[in-house]
Each structure stands twice: as structure tokens, then as C-alpha cells.
Amino acid sequence: MAKTLIAVVGPTAIGKTALSIKLANHYNTEIVSADSRQFYKEMTIGTAVPSKEELSAAKHHFIQNLSVTEDYSVGDFERDGLALLEKLFKLQDIVILVGGSGLYVNAIVKGLNHFPDVDESIRLKLNDSLKNEGLEPLQNQLKTLDPKYFEKVDIHNPHRVIRALEICIGTQKTYTSFLEQDKEERPFNTITVGLEADRTKIYERINDRVDIMMAEGLLKEVKSLEPYKNYNALNTVGYKELFNYLDDEWSLEFAISEIKKNTRRFAKRQLTWFKKNSDTLWFNYKTTEQTIIKVIDNKMQSQ
């Protein structure tokens, strides 16, 4: 039987954790988390880490295995995740991958585009140019150096424009040429299962979850992390808004409303990302696991 990775995706608060545990129990296997916010052991409530009961119901990997003070990139996750899957697939034919971080799911399923290291001074010069002259000259430079990427990138996003330019300048090749490189084939099949609901329901579930997080002590958790608030791991929804409250910039009521609003925006971006994959099998969040398992089994038999 071919080795199969079942990836469970969808927007935040849709029920991915519950489904992944049911699938893991049905197939007698383990779960690999691709939720980049749940890697950090100091962040529990605000990242909706699975409960002790959920963690004991199925073996999980990459849950609270790092400190917020550690640098951990998506490239690190691709390396570590593939190494783990190699071990797990020696023991079983099916493994479950779950998460709402689209880039991290893609890192395992499809692989990342790998770019060469370039001189850091290039980025510093480009950032100086952005600060002193604005974005337009950088946009024009990208149009000249890589017209193909210029046509599809969000040219109003300075981070992406500068990232492409530093590669073009540092390698004397187009950014597009690296994007179009063949990626290493995966030694397993992937079946991607997506959970969805109408937008009103998703937003309702998000608002309810934020209220539950506050009741469970999210503010106390954020207070305990104040000394680390400048670390990148904490520049995330649910934490940065409450840091603003603790800094007396916002009222608590406004901070909570901003958490809800920013989480809703995040969910919208998640859906946009995951909907790009035309192979995903989409199910309403209320669909029974028996129905989903039946579809998965049929898909595995046809591969």
C-alpha cells in the first residue's frame, strides 16, 4: 500500500483538531501539527493548543516543542517534518497532518522554493531606498529586472518587492527562475481534506472562541509574556492586541474587538490560500467523520 498523508486544513475555529483526532484514531496513526502558532510552549490559550484530553487521545508532534525565544523558520519545519514522516511511515501507512498555516502545510506536501543566500547589505540598501524615496522606484526596478514576477506579485507589498529585488540583484537571475525550479517529489501520496462553513458561521465561531479564551485566562497568559513581546513568535493575533492594552494604548474592550476582527481577517486569508488547491476535498464542518472517512478510503483506493 502506498504511504498516504492525510492533510486536514481550513480556517481557524472550524474543528480541524477534533477531526484530525478522529481520523488518527480510525487509522491507528499519529498527528503532525503544521500550526506555526502552536509550536511555542509559552503560548497555550491564545493559540488554541489541543487540550490535555485531546493530546492524550492521539499522539501529536510539533505541539509546544519550542520556546518563543527560538528562531524557527518554515524551512526548518520542512526539514524536521519530512524527517519525522520518514520515521512514522516506517511504522504505518497513513499519517495525519493538520494545521491552518498554509505555508507550513505546503512545505510538507509540496516543498518550498529554495533561494540562495545573498549579501545582507543588498536588503539594507533597498530598505534605505524605500525609506528615503518610497516604493515606486523599487516597483520600477522590479519591473525591469523581473517583469514576469512583477505582473503577479502584490506590488504594493514592500516586503515582497524587496525580497524579489534582493534575489535578482544578489544572483543576477530573476526571482521567477527560482520559483519555477522543480521541487523534490514526495515519497508519499497526499489527500487533503478541507473543512468549511458559510462565512457568518465561521465568524460566529471565531467570536465565541475569543470569548472563551478570555474567560480561560488569555490576558494573564499575555501578561506573563510581556518580557518577550518583541520576539517574532508573539507578533501574532491575540497577543499583540493585548500588549497594546497592557501598554495603555487601548481599552480592554477595544483590544478584544480587535482580536476578533483580526482573527476573522486571518480566517478569510486562510480560506483564500487553501481554496487555491483544486484537489482539496471540501466538507461542511458538521459532516460526520464516517462520511469523510468513506471518501478518503475511496480516494486512497483510486490512487
Are 101 and 24 contained in the same domain? yes
What would the mean pLDDT of 165-179 be, rounded to a whole number?
A: 95
> Per the annotation, does 15 bind a ligand?
yes
Are 187 and 175 contained in the same domain? no
CA distance 245 to 300: 50
pLDDT digits (tens, 9 = 90+) for 5-35: 999 999 999 999 999 999 999 999 999 999 9
CA distance 9 to 58: 18
pTM of the model: 0.85
The parent domain of residue 200 ranges over 4-112+183-302
Under a CB-based contact definition with an 8 Å cutoff, are residues 228 and 67 in contact? no
CA distance 207 to 264: 8
Are 167 and 190 contained in the same domain? no
pLDDT band, residue 204 (cuts 50/70/90): very high
Are 200 and 70 contained in the same domain? yes
What would the mean pLDDT of 178-183 be, rounded to a whole number?
A: 83
| Percentage of the chain exceeding pLDDT 90 | 90
Are 193 and 222 contained in the same domain? yes
DSSP strands (E only) in the chain: 4-9, 31-33, 60-61, 94-98, 189-196, 281-284
pLDDT band, residue 184 (cuts 50/70/90): confident
Phi, psi of 40 (to 5 degrees): -100, 125
pLDDT digits (tens, 9 = 90+) for 113-137: 888 889 999 999 999 999 999 999 9
> Per the annotation, does 29 bind a ligand?
no
> Per the annotation, does 13 bind a ligand?
yes
> Per the annotation, does 34 bind a ligand?
no
The pLDDT score that the predictor gives to residue 1 is 63
| 3-state class (DSSP) for residue 72 | coil
Q: What is the CATH number of the domain that holds 232?
A: 3.40.50.300
* Helix or strand holding residue 220 (H, E): helix 218-224
Are 61 and 167 contained in the same domain? no
Q: What is the DSSP letter of 184?
A: P
Pick from 179, 204, 229: which residue ends a domain?
179
Under a CB-based contact definition with an 8 Å cutoff, are residues 188 and 81 in contact? no
Q: What is the DSSP letter of 37?
A: G
The pLDDT score that the predictor gives to residue 183 is 75
Are 148 and 237 contained in the same domain? no
What would the mean pLDDT of 238-266 be, rounded to a whole number?
A: 97
The pLDDT score that the predictor gives to residue 263 is 97
Pick from 158, 179, 200: which residue ends a domain?
179
pLDDT of 236 > 70? The answer is yes
pLDDT digits (tens, 9 = 90+) for 63-74: 999 999 999 999
Pick from 179, 205, 222: which residue ends a domain?
179
What would the mean pLDDT of 179-184 be, rounded to a whole number?
A: 81
Are 238 and 106 contained in the same domain? yes
> Per the annotation, does 17 bind a ligand?
yes
> Per the annotation, does 50 bind a ligand?
no
| C-alpha dihedral sign at 273, 275, 281, 284 | positive
Q: What is the total count of domains within the chain?
A: 2
What would the mean pLDDT of 95-111 be, rounded to a whole number?
A: 95
Are 174 and 192 contained in the same domain? no
What would the mean pLDDT of 206-218 be, rounded to a whole number?
A: 98
Q: What is the CATH number of the domain that holds 154?
A: 1.10.20.140
Are 75 and 208 contained in the same domain? yes
* Range scoring the smallest mean pLDDT among 155-159, 188-192, 207-211: 155-159
Are 148 and 257 contained in the same domain? no
Are 126 and 187 contained in the same domain? no
CA distance 284 to 292: 10
pLDDT of 272 > 70? The answer is yes
